[in-house]
Amino acid sequence: MTEPTEPTEEVTTAPVTEPTEPLTEPVETTVEPTVEPTTEPLIIGDVNFDGTVDVMDAVMVQLYATDNASFDDTQKYAADVNDDGNIDVLDAMDIQKYVSSKITEFKKKS
């Protein structure tokens, strides 16, 4: 038996150079929003859009009134339940009154 021998071929490598031009052309992409427009009616006081006016909506209004949350325009419209043009603790209090059945409707109707 003969012993295996190492290959006698010499291995050479090509020099590595940086490309002078990009390998591919840049591609511009546009991402379309995936949110479908809703056909559900806006519920005044429902600032989190869960379909009901509850204590969570009052908490969100309180956070907004103290600069600890941001609202989009639709949320701002829904949050101003007393229709005075401001979103403040008075709106949060009205939502709390509504949730506890002390009032049955808001000053702002729609």
The string of pLDDT tens digits covering residues 40-57 is 799 999 999 999 999 999
pLDDT band at 110 (very low <50, low <70, confident <90, very high): confident
| Residue 12 lies inside a defined structural domain of this protein | no
What is the extent of the structural domain holding 94? 41-110
Name the band, by pLDDT with cuts 50, 70 and 90, for residue 109: confident
Domain annotation covers residue 6:
no
The span from the CA of 44 to the CA of 81, in Å, is 6
**Buried b vs exposed e over 16-55: b needs ≥16 C-beta within 10 Å?**
eeeeeeeeeeeeeeeeeeeeeeeeeeeebbbbeeeeebbe
Cα Rg of the chain, angstroms:
32
13 within some domain: no
Quote the pLDDT of residue 40.
77
Residue 26 lies in a domain: no
- Number of domains within the chain: 1
Report yes or no on 8 lying in a domain: no
- The whole-number pLDDT of residue 74 equals 96
CATH of the domain at 104: 1.10.1330.10
User: Does any domain span residue 21?
Assistant: no
Burial annotation 58-82 (CB, 10 A radius, 16+ → b, else e): bbbbbebbeeeeebeeebebbbbbb
Q: Is residue 91 part of a domain?
A: yes
Average pLDDT, the chain: 84
Question: Is the residue at 68 inside a domain?
Answer: yes
Average pLDDT of the residues in 78-89: 97
- Collapsing DSSP to helix, strand or coil, 79 comes out as helix
